[in-house]
Amino acid sequence: MTNPPADTLVHRSVPAPAGRIHLVEQGSGPLVLLVHGFPEGWYSWRHQLPALAAAGFRAVAVDVRGYGRSSRPEAVDAYRMVELVEDAVAVVAALGERSASIVGHDWGASIAATSALLRPDVFHAVALLGVPYSPPGGPRPSDVFAAMGGQEEFYVSYFQQPGRAEAEIEPDVRGWLAGFHAALSGDTMPGPDDPSPYFVGPGGRLRDRFPADRLPAWLGEPELDRLAGEFERTGLSGALNRYRNVDRDWADLAGHRGAPLTQPSLFIGGALDASVSWLADAIAAFPDTLPGLVASHLLDDCGHWVQQERPDRVNRILVDWLTGLAR
């Protein structure tokens, strides 16, 4: 397969267990697979694609199954983690490659980590953005989420019931996405004394606690229009089905309980991201769970959307890490 010139952004769809996976690639060289989180798409890597291409890498950002132009299977259990790993493996093969570095953000970080865990023959290095690695195991996830928040409901539990979050989001996709991104961004998130946007009050909605009428500095109206347009076309069920499979994942991966990732690895988080606070013990355990860790970075004044909030800093970190792997 002929690679495109380094300054060209190329869209294509490739066969995968999902049916098809849409991807966008730029550059030539060692393959770097970029996997987005919720509720995003390949476009969340728009700043990284040209930077990685300019540094001599073949950067490929996918639409995960259920998103964008990729296939959207109807069955809820089609979105379990082992299925998403097989999609990632299929993308590498369809691109004519045998192996890749894999980089993920949010749910994409979990997909990247599980891909590296299950298929170390394909994924020789892994970078995790926003969500640190926690080995499989522990209590059943839904039991943990149900116990959080007291009289309030944790957002993951809220997302797990099919149709419930869709009924909140889909009548005003653009407004909901604007509020959700603002709630988790370092420059617009609620203060420590405000009600948490990660919990739903009795009889309430998640969006009741989103910041109103303001966008993060990094998210302009054109970018929001593009993001909203994709979800207005596809709906949110495919994206939300990831949350509806956490217990299936727990069962599927039981045989890997406590397993470390031994490949060269990297972590980048936002210092203001709640995920970093909730999973502080996972970060502290990196010497055991990520023995191949090259570097771990917490970016000051940054929230959840690290590669979009701090694109230049993230690009430098990724390029330095990937270049070091090639030495």
Given this model, what pLDDT does residue 1 score? Answer: 45
Please check whether residue 17 is in contact with residue 4, taking contact to mean a CB–CB distance below 8 angstroms. Answer: no
Look at the block and give the residue holding tokens 């639409």. 63
CATH code, domain with 107: 3.40.50.1820
Given this model, what pLDDT does residue 5 score? Answer: 53
Residue 147 lies in a domain: yes
Given this model, what pLDDT does residue 220 score? Answer: 96
- Residue 81 CA to residue 102 CA, distance in Å, equals 15
Instruction: Output phi, psi for 21, to 5 deg.
Output: -120, 125
The SS3 assignment for 203 reads coil
Residue 1 lies in a domain: no
> pLDDT above 70 covers what percent of the chain?
98
Given this model, what pLDDT does residue 177 score? Answer: 98
Given this model, what pLDDT does residue 6 score? Answer: 58
Q: 251 lies in which domain range?
A: 10-326
Q: What is the pLDDT of residues 130-177, one digit of tens each?
A: 999 999 999 999 999 999 988 899 999 999 999 999 999 999 999 999
pLDDT (mean) for 178-184: 98
Three-state SS annotation for 141-198: HHHHHHCCCCCCEEHHHHHHCCCHHHHHHHHHHHHHHHHHHHHHCCCCCCCCCCCCCC
* Burial classification of residue 9, based on how many CB atoms lie within 10 Å of its CB (0-12 exposed, 13-18 middle, 19 or more buried): middle
Q: What is the pLDDT of residues 90-145, one digit of tens each?
A: 999 999 999 999 999 999 999 999 999 999 999 999 999 999 999 999 999 999 99
Q: What sign does the CA torsion over 128, 132, 134, 138 have?
A: negative
> Which are the catalytic amino acids?
106, 304
Given this model, what pLDDT does residue 149 score? Answer: 80
Residue 218 lies in a domain: yes
Average pLDDT, the chain: 96
Strands 153-154 and 199-200: antiparallel
Please tell me the least confidently modeled range out of 5-19, 183-197, 232-246, 302-316. 5-19
Task: Determine how many CB atoms are found less than 10 A away from the CB of residue 251.
Answer: 11
Residue 82 lies in a domain: yes
Residue 259 lies in a domain: yes
Residue 46 lies in a domain: yes
Task: Determine how many CB atoms are found less than 10 A away from the CB of residue 209.
Answer: 18
Judged against a pLDDT cut of 90, whether residue 213 lies above it is answered with no
pLDDT (mean) for 34-40: 98
Residue 117 lies in a domain: yes
Residue 4 lies in a domain: no
